[in-house]
Amino acid sequence: MEVFEAAEESCGRQGLQVPDDLAAYKAVAGWRSGHEPGALEALVAQLERAPGRLELYAELLGPGVKDTARQEWARKRLAEMKANQARIDQLESRLQESPFAASAGIYADLATACAKFRERGAYDYLFLASDLDPANVIVLKNLLNIMSRPRDVFFRLRLLRRLLAAEGGSEAALYGMAEIFLKLHVRLDEARRLVQSGLDSHPDSSRLKALQAQLAAQGAGASSQGKERP
């Protein structure tokens, strides 16, 4: 246990993030030592963070775990993750047999399977699938779900334009583009047209109605400011 703690402290001194493997091994060592407070919870947290670490489930299925509910959770999760690993293996085999240009669907399925393991490789597979099949609506929506940071705003805008082209009248695309314009305080007239177009196709969309009200308030505010100028 001391070895893992020393390695963790070394990462801290160097300003480095503790590697996932180190955190997992430390959790196992703490559990096996039998006296580390919160060791079982730390082990479960590792599996929640990285459910594809199949080797860790055995620790929860051993006789040392008296919590039957926790054991049942580990048993079911292990079966589910083994099936997911088999799915990944199958898809990787199909990749070897398929032309690259025709592999968008396989990469999209791999992204879904890797996301279940919460692996970073899922993003790479999504981008590959999107490059090979730019009009794939499901892939575009999955990319939009993960590209949600403020610094991703312009990339999101490109994805939303592609989504609108692939799925005419898409409520998600029209709302997303208009929302970006409103947040950036640019192209507000275009944002209003996008919202109106969305409401023409989706009159019951509460978020489009809310955005329309916000845009109307922006217009009213701008008019008031203009009247106050000498």
pTM for the whole structure: 0.73
Q: Is 137 helix (H, G, I), strand (E, B) or coil?
A: helix
Give residue-wise pLDDT tens across range 184-221: 999 999 999 999 999 999 999 999 999 999 999 986 55
Residue 38 CB partners (closer than 8 Å, separation 6+): 30
CA 130 – CA 139 distance, rounded (Å): 6
Burial class (CB in 10 A: 0-12, 13-18, 19+), 106: buried
Which residue intervals of the chain are DSSP H helices? 2-13, 20-33, 39-49, 57-61, 68-97, 104-116, 121-132, 137-146, 153-166, 171-184, 188-201, 206-228
Residues of the chain with pLDDT under 70: 1-14, 16-32, 34-37, 219-230
Q: Residue 47's pLDDT is what?
A: 87
Fold of 134-221: 1.25.40
Q: Which amino acid is at 24?
A: A
Largest CA distance in the chain: 82
Q: Residue 129's pLDDT is what?
A: 95
Q: Where are the domains of the chain?
A: 134-221
